[in-house]
Amino acid sequence: MDRDQILELLTDAAVEVMDVAREVVTPEARFVEDLNGDSLSVLEILEILQEKLDVDLPTESFDGVATVGEAADVITKIAAERAESPAG
Amino acid sequence: MTRIRIAITGVGVKTPAGCDVDTFWATLLAGRSCAAPIRRIDPAALPVRFACEVTDFDPSVYFDSKETRRTDRVAQLAFGAAADALADAGELGADPARCGVVAAAGVGGLITQEEQEYNLFSRGPARVSPMLVPMMMPNAAAALVGMKLGWTGPNFCIATACAGGTNAIGEAGRLIREGSSDIVLAGGSEACVTPIAIAAFARMGALSNRNDEPQLASRPFDIDRDGFVMGEGAGFVVLESWDRAVARGAHIYGELAGYGRNSDAYHVTAPSPGGAGAADCMRLALNDAGLTPGDIGHINAHGTSTDLNDAAEAEAVVKVFGERTLPLTSAKGSIGHLIAAAGAVEAVASLLAMRDGVIPPTVNHERADPDLGVDIVAGAPRPLAAAPVVSNSFGFGGHNASLVLTPPS
């Protein structure tokens, strides 16, 4: 799964969790400041992505992540590592 | 110093017998059992496959999608009942810092906890929801009610198992009497029609096994009783000082005139021999109300339909009030055992009984247990002149709680 597809899933999740319009969920949008989120919203979004991608997304991997695009970068990297892992 | 009188000015329920007070009360008076095969989960593998579920609660009436997602059913039911009680109480005109919440919980957000334990064991710790802690904690319902209302006064959870709802109302009265709060929403909620709870209570032998005839299963004080029926729901009441209620022209359901609470200090699940703890508890409540046994019109019994509880409660009633001197009713024949919500919902029933001058029948009480020596209202509602009610709750752990509620006057 590439970054664009992951961005799409993140956007779906952000719209659902934060109850915001789809067009405001840009890669530059910050979860808390721009998208009406709180400290739990990001965790809820990650939980949805975990289910959709069937991959573990450890909370600590997202330290310092503020925007949708940054989250997509981290998830893309984790998903790629998982795909390469023989145990995966 | 003049004793501060406590008025109850709002009531709200979410029960297997209905999610509004009128439907709930009509169902109790009709003497209808609410037990049925379990719907929320597939009960096929469980030893007991029926319960009294709340079937018509719609969270979207009270919550947006975010709140619904972040709260367990137990907190949703609690806020629904609390919001109804508040609406019923009318315009309070109170300072939010002087408004408190006391909410009883038995097991907390067990539905969520079980789902997440399944995730833990089947898929690993990374799949445990980050929302689990705030959804499972027993104080979640109290916190939700306070947050939704913006009430910043005293806010806490009472965990005395099946006595919780009664303790919550009693302790709320104390908050008003001691001057900590002007208004308190007090009650309890429970939502544990879950595989682990059903399995665990069944393994203790606490639940009725009547899988083939669920509607006959909860039969308080009946000679053929064989255990309680798991229920779920919530009940809340609004309490304030009598003077305040009168000054704002509130409708007053009744007075919280007396409250007793004590501990058996005997056994974690069995009542103390001869119902000694329960008897002392009722005496404490009578003393607090300044009433004698002869002043009481009827008892809203804990009456779970278990062999031991009903026997101990009956013995306690005989000790305090004498043999067959006053009528008892148990709502659990109709709605099952709502655990921490039971006492709150039954307090509401007690207030309505005083309002309408009628005691609802104990569903399925067909053959009196000759060993018990108590007069059980059964078959049809029994008219009663408005008179004080004792409402009892007794919890695992030996927690006893009794309220004395008196008609408004």
**pLDDT tens digits, one per residue of B116-133:** 999 999 999 989 999 999
Annotation says B251 is catalytic: no
Query: Does the beta-carbon distance from B127 to A50 stay under 8 Å?
Result: yes
Residue A88 pLDDT grade (very low, low, confident, very high; cuts 50, 70, 90): very low
Residue B368 clears pLDDT 60, i.e. is over it: yes
Residue to mutate among A48, A49, A50, A61, with most B CBs inside 10 A, is: A50
Q: Given this model, what pLDDT does residue B244 score?
A: 98
Minimal C-alpha gap between A56 and chain B (Å): 6
CATH of B259-406, one of 3.40.50.2000, 3.40.47.10, 3.30.70.520, 3.40.50.11290: 3.40.47.10
Burial class (CB within 10 angstroms; exposed 0-12, middle 13-18, buried 19+) of B5:
middle
Q: Note the pLDDT of residue A21.
A: 95
Q: Among B64, B126, B130, whose Cβ lies nearest the Cβ of A40?
A: B130
Give the alpha-carbon dihedral of B54, B55, B60, B66, to 10 degrees. 70
Q: State the catalytic residue, choosing from B157, B162, B192, B281.
A: B162
Smallest Cβ distance to A59: which of B69, B124, B130?
Answer: B130
| Rounded-to-10 torsion of CA B137, B267, B192, B115 | 60
Check CB contact of A17 with chain B, cutoff 8 Å: yes
B298 catalytic residue (yes or no):
no
Query: Span B273-287, mean pLDDT?
Result: 97
Return the pLDDT at A87: 55
pLDDT one-digit tens code per residue, B57-92: 999 999 998 899 999 999 999 999 999 999 999 999
- The pLDDT, as a whole number, for residue B175 is 98
Domain spanning B7-247: CATH superfamily: Thiolase/Chalcone synthase (3.40.47.10)
pLDDT score at B292: 98
The percentage of residues in chain A with a pLDDT greater than 90, rounded to a whole number, is 78
Each residue of A9-50: pLDDT tens digit? 999 999 999 989 999 999 999 999 999 898 889 999 999 999
pLDDT for A3 beyond 70: yes
Residue B184 confidence (pLDDT): 98
Torsion of CA B39, B108, B305, B309, to 10 degrees: 160
pLDDT band at B1, cuts 50/70/90? Answer: low
Residues 24-43 of A with CB under 8 A from B: 40, 43
Question: Do the Cβ atoms of A57 and A9 come closer than 8 Å?
Answer: no
To test the contact with chain A by mutation, choose from B64, B115, B127, B135 the residue with the greatest count of A C-beta atoms within 10 A, namely B127
**Which value, to the nearest 10 degrees, does the dihedral of the CA atoms of residues B288, B294, B296, B301 take?**
90
Contacts of A43 in chain B (CB under 8 A): 130-131
Residue B409 confidence class, pLDDT cut points 50, 70, 90: confident
Query: Sign (positive/negative) of CA torsion B185, B336, B18, B254?
Result: negative
Residue limits of CATH 3.40.47.10 in chain B: 7-247, 259-406
Distance, in Å, from the CA atom of B237 to the CA atom of B9, rounded to the nearest integer, reads 7
Would you state the structure tokens that stand for residue B225, as one six-digit string?
């009783």
Q: Is the ipTM of this complex over 0.85?
A: no
